[in-house]
Amino acid sequence: MPRAIDATDPVDLFVGERLRAARLASGLSQTELGKAMGLSFQQVQKYERGTNRISASMLARAASAVGVPVADFFPPETLDLKSNNWVELGAIRGGAALAEYFLTMDPAQRVVLLQVAQVFARSPQNSRPPVA
């Protein structure tokens, strides 16, 4: 079935989220990454959101700027991009810190935190279904 012209391809969304995660992990702002790539921060924003597709040459520049292989930006073949359950924790504001804190906890504390997260995820304010 042909996709709508205005629809954002799930691969573009995935690449953008991976770019954001790599940028945050390397400690760069969108402005700094844009400068390294010869772009404006607005263009980096568009790439990260999947609004604009990133060309192979720009992806290579981004990979070089954040210090990761280009292959890190692509989904593994086993990933179901249609499910939208593939958001990287590092791509979410506060996600990297949450992961660091989680790793320092003992197993009992992790269980409690996961139970609290499950309650929050099921609250009526959340419109997004929990990730399986």
Q: What are the DSSP calls for 89-122, one per residue?
A: GGGSTTHHHHHHHHHHS-HHHHHHHHHHHHHHHT
Q: What is the pLDDT of residues 36-51, one digit of tens each?
A: 999 999 999 999 988 8
What integer pLDDT is reported at residue 90 of this predicted model? 67
Residue 64, token pair as written in the block: 């070089």
Mean pLDDT of 4-9: 66
Full-model pTM: 0.60
Element holding 23 (H helix, E strand): helix 10-26
Span 67-121, pLDDT tens digits = 999 988 887 765 565 665 556 666 677 777 888 888 888 888 888 888 888 888 8
Question: What distance in Å separates the CA atoms of residue 67 and residue 19, rounded to the nearest whole number?
Answer: 11
Angle between helices 10-26 and 41-49 (to 10 degrees): 130
Q: What is the pLDDT of residue 1?
A: 43
Can you tell me the mean pLDDT for 10-38?
90
Which of the residue ranges 10-14, 20-24, 64-68 would you say has the lowest mean pLDDT? 10-14
At 129, is the pLDDT very low, low, confident or very high (cuts 50, 70, 90)?
low
**Angle made by CA atoms 25, 107, 93, in degrees to the nearest 5:** 25
